[in-house]
């Protein structure tokens, strides 16, 4: 009898172990969290400011040419895009990737930015930095001021191109914040999403081809920047927009960076979704008007609204709030009501309902108005 009891206990232990392993396996499979080769990495959703994945996110590391995200941003914000700039001696013959500018060669700011971001041109970085600030040291100060203003607290720039320097570093988290801000700029977004372009200087024509393979290999990719030095390793910042959901991925010192980004972006899109709550003009109502030159007024939402949420969430409900009537006068665009959206009883967004036209106050007729009109 004792022997049978021991066997039962052992069987229960074995079953318990099998169940635990199975549970862990199912949990891991459902989450499908990828492993990455990078020393440091993040996956960032900028609308909700949510970090979906982190690995050594705040490690201060060399970031190679991903530095040029900040250089391009400052050039766009501080220089006219059609301004023509000549290459000086500090840019010509600089080490590393280049546009191979000649001394005195002239290009527009925009074409230099294309060279900077597509060809990863170190010479273009020098020309732009000098044009913005007068010299590299002052430009680095401007880079650091901008980084701090964006919440990139663990970043320090000393040059505009990312060439190795022990005092030149950032983090995967900081790079995602800088990139999120840069992508709000239409010019930056257009440049980094360009696969190839031909630019013309006063001396020659150049075909610039983007080094970012994800633009061709990942559906929805919109940029952003590659980077490499022997010291920093392979660095990559990418961004994608799929069905309204934008994600930013950063890897630093990643031997298998293309695969890392593909896996991380796939992971993000497997767990999050963008849900449209309201399209422009989707909610339209008519409200009675008192003392107006019209008896009713039409109102509608003039803005669209979407939310980012976990896939498979609860049903979203809408609650409309409009008055029984309004009193004239009413101006076009006045907020008359609103539509609020809820998930699990929690408010997740709202849109205003605005007047589509103006209504003036109806002139009251009376004995005073009668005599006044006679006098006129």
- Residue 52 phi, psi (nearest 5): -80, -30
Domain of 311, in residue numbers: 279-355
Same domain, 267 and 283: no
CATH number of 332's domain = 2.60.410.10
Q: pLDDT, tens digit, for every residue of 24-74? A: 333 333 458 899 999 999 999 999 999 999 999 999 999 999 999 999 999
Task: Please give the Cα distance from 245 to 108 (Å, whole number).
Answer: 34
Same domain, 318 and 173: no
Task: Please give the Cα distance from 14 to 362 (Å, whole number).
Answer: 85
Query: Cα dist. 370→360, 367, 373 in Å?
Result: 20, 5, 5
Same domain, 265 and 217: yes
CATH number of 134's domain = 3.40.710.10
Same domain, 187 and 160: yes
- Each residue's pLDDT tens digit in the chain (376 positions)? 545 555 666 555 555 544 443 333 333 334 588 999 999 999 999 999 999 999 999 999 999 999 999 999 999 999 999 999 999 999 999 999 999 999 999 999 999 999 999 999 999 999 999 999 999 999 999 999 999 999 999 999 999 999 999 999 999 999 999 999 999 999 999 999 999 999 999 999 999 999 999 999 999 999 999 999 999 999 999 999 999 999 999 999 999 999 999 999 999 999 999 999 999 999 999 999 999 999 999 999 999 999 999 998 889 999 999 999 999 999 999 999 999 999 999 999 999 999 999 999 987 665 555 444 445 4
Does residue 29 belong to any structural domain of this protein? no
Same domain, 169 and 199: yes
Task: Please give the Cα distance from 351 to 337 (Å, whole number).
Answer: 9
Does residue 30 belong to any structural domain of this protein? no
How many other CB atoms sit within 10 Å of the CB of residue 97? Answer: 20
Does residue 16 belong to any structural domain of this protein? no
Residue reference for tokens 């422009």: 280
Q: Are the CB atoms for 110 and 177 separated by under 8 Å?
A: no
Query: Cα dist. 164→57, 75, 247, 254, 257 in Å?
Result: 20, 22, 28, 17, 20
Does residue 68 belong to any structural domain of this protein? yes
Same domain, 100 and 67: yes
> Closest Cα partner for 277 from 200, 348, 373?
348
Same domain, 189 and 325: no
Same domain, 256 and 284: no
Total domains in the fold of the chain? 2
Does residue 88 belong to any structural domain of this protein? yes
Does residue 111 belong to any structural domain of this protein? yes
């Amino acid at each position: 009898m004792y022997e049978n009891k021991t066997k039962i206990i052992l069987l229960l232990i074995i079953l318990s172990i099998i169940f635990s392993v199975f549970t862990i396996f199912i949990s891991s499979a459902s989450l499908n969290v990828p492993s990455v080769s990078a020393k440091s990495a993040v996956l960032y959703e900028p609308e909700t400011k949510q970090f979906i994945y982190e690995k050594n996110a705040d490690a201060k590391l060399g970031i190679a040419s991903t530095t040029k995200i900040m250089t391009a941003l400052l050039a766009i914000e501080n220089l006219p895009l059609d301004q023509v700039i000549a290459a000086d001696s500090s840019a010509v013959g600089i080490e590393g990737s280049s546009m191979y500018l000649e001394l005195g060669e002239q290009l527009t700011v925009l074409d230099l930015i294309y060279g900077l971001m597509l060809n990863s041109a170190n010479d273009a970085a020098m020309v732009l930095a000098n044009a913005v600030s007068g010299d590299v040291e002052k430009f680095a100060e401007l880079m650091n001021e901008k980084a701090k203003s964006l919440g990139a607290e663990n970043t320090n720039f000393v040059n505009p191109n990312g060439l190795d320097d022990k005092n030149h570093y950032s983090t995967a988290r900081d790079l995602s914040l800088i990139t999120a801000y840069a992508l709000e700029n239409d010019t930056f977004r257009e440049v980094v999403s360009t696969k190839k372009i031909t630019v013309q200087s006063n001396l020659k024509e150049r075909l610039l081809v983007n080094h970012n393979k994800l633009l061709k290999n990942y559906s929805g990719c919109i940029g952003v920047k590659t980077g490499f030095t022997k010291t920093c390793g392979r660095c990559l910042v990418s961004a994608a927009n799929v069905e309204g959901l934008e994600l930013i991925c950063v890897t630093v010192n990643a031997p298998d960076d293309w695969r890392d980004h593909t896996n991380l972006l796939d992971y993000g899109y497997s767990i999050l979704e963008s849900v449209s709550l309201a399209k422009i003009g989707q909610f339209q109502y008519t409200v009675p008007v008192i003392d107006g030159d019209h008896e009713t007024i039409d109102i509608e939402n003039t803005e669209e609204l979407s939310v980012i949420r976990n896939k498979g969430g609860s049903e979203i409900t809408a609650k409309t709030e409009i008055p029984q009537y309004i009193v004239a006068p009413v101006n076009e665009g006045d907020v008359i009501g609103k539509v609020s959206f809820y998930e699990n009883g929690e408010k997740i967004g709202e849109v205003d309902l605005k007047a589509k036209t103006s209504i003036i106050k109806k002139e009251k007729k009376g004995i005073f108005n009668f005599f006044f009109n006679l006098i006129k």
